[in-house]
Amino acid sequence: MRTDKTIFSQVMHQIHSEQFRRCVHRYDGHYRIRSFPCWDQFLAMAFAQMTYRESLADIEICLRSRPDQLYRMGFHSTIAHSTLADANRSRDWRIYHDLAQGLIVRARRLYAQDSFGVDLEQTVYALDSTTIDLCLSLFPWARFRATKAAIKLHTLLDLRGPIPTMISITEGKEVDMTILDELVLEPGAFYVMDRGYLDFERLYWFERVGAYFVTRAKTTLRFRRVRSRKVPKGMGVRSDQVIRLVWRKSAERYRRGLRRIHYKDPETGNVLVFLTNNFDLPALTIAHLYKCRWQVELFFKWVKQNLRIKHFYGTSPNAVKTQVWIAICVYVLVAIVRKEFGLEASLSQILQILSVNVFEQMPLAELIAKTVPQNEMTDCSKQLMLNGF
């Protein structure tokens, strides 16, 4: 069955025109712009993400090779790599940050009932960062070491989906724990993170707003055991204690008790010690929550392998942030399409199909169904949605 809309435009149709217009207006995106509006900039960069373009010239050549399809894809102006470079350098990256946040809100509603491996009603977030290496001579503003440049993507991931709810782009030398200052904590939610975020002054803020954290204890942690709790036998939990910090500075910064859980993973034999301010969940559930933190690592692996965020089309901070946020928009759009069209294929499978069919004119759901055999479809109730690298 043919349709007037290309596969590319069916995906982009998930963005409401008024939503995009408000993002542009908020940051005067069209100030003194006579041609090549922000929408065309977004479409060109989203096309590059979907089809794995290598450069701005590559984007221009590919789009100009199909002039008969550009209008159907939503373009209203001619694509030139110099014009696109100017737009990436000068137009406020926050336009696409705000667009991504609006899409994230929608995606989270669609995935709100999905399971992430732990039977828990509360929202669970995983917090982590990944480093993207850059060339120091091209990106001097992102100096990381004496001969190296890098940026960090600090990401807060809603494990239902999983959908990124907050991404902060900083220089590579930024210390992870400072990102805790940017979090808008949700009372009752769980935040799972590694011990790089172990800062008791900042973690005490979780206690004050009624949010919970789960993290790893450092081997240098000094504490006093207040009491021990019963632990299930044969499940890997060695001890479950209520403790108080004894180092003066730590005790002053975190003035309440903590829960310390000593756990040995039956599968790997790894011994882990967790700290949390939640005293209600079973110790084994706390251990399973921390294990789910690896979904954020899988998210980083997925976006690095499937989107263009390791090779940048521009060298200015604005161009880099613009490209990253449009990449996140594409990721969330694919996640939305997956739910809206009732697709069972994984995100990787969908993106691979999109990459070679952007100019086709047929219903998206029909294309996916005829391309991916039924026995290769990903069962989300049993597998992580990001599987299928």
φ/ψ bin of 185: left (φ > 0), alpha (ψ from -120 to 50), beta (otherwise) = beta
Position 388 scores a pLDDT of 38
Candidates 1.10.287, 2.40.128, 1.10.1060, 2.20.25; correct CATH number of 202-283? 2.20.25
Task: Enter the pTM of the model.
Answer: 0.90
Segments making up each domain of the chain, as ranges: 7-96+314-376, 202-283
Other beta carbons within 10 angstroms of residue 142's beta carbon come to 24
Planar angle of CA 99, 71, 21, nearest 5 degrees: 25
The phi and psi torsions of 384 (rounded to 5 degrees) equal -65, 135
The phi and psi torsions of 165 (rounded to 5 degrees) equal -100, -20
Position 377 scores a pLDDT of 52
Q: What is the rounded distance in angstroms from the CA atom of residue 366 to the CA atom of residue 373?
A: 12
Q: How far is CA 183 from the centre of its chain?
A: 14
Give the burial class of 205: count Cβ atoms within 10 A of its Cβ; 0-12 exposed, 13-18 middle, 19 or more buried: middle
Q: Is the peptide bond before 162 cis (omega within 30 degrees of 0)?
A: yes
Tens of each residue's pLDDT in the chain, 389 residues: 567 789 999 999 999 999 999 999 999 999 888 889 999 999 999 999 999 999 999 999 999 999 888 888 999 888 999 999 999 999 999 999 999 999 999 999 999 988 888 889 899 999 999 999 999 999 999 999 888 999 999 999 999 988 999 999 999 999 999 999 999 999 999 999 999 999 999 999 999 999 999 999 999 999 999 999 999 888 899 999 999 999 999 999 999 999 999 999 888 889 999 999 999 999 999 999 999 999 999 999 999 999 999 899 999 999 999 999 999 999 999 999 999 999 989 999 999 999 999 999 999 999 998 887 655 554 433 344 454 33
Q: What is the rounded distance in angstroms from the CA atom of residue 89 to the CA atom of residue 321?
A: 10
Position 381 scores a pLDDT of 35
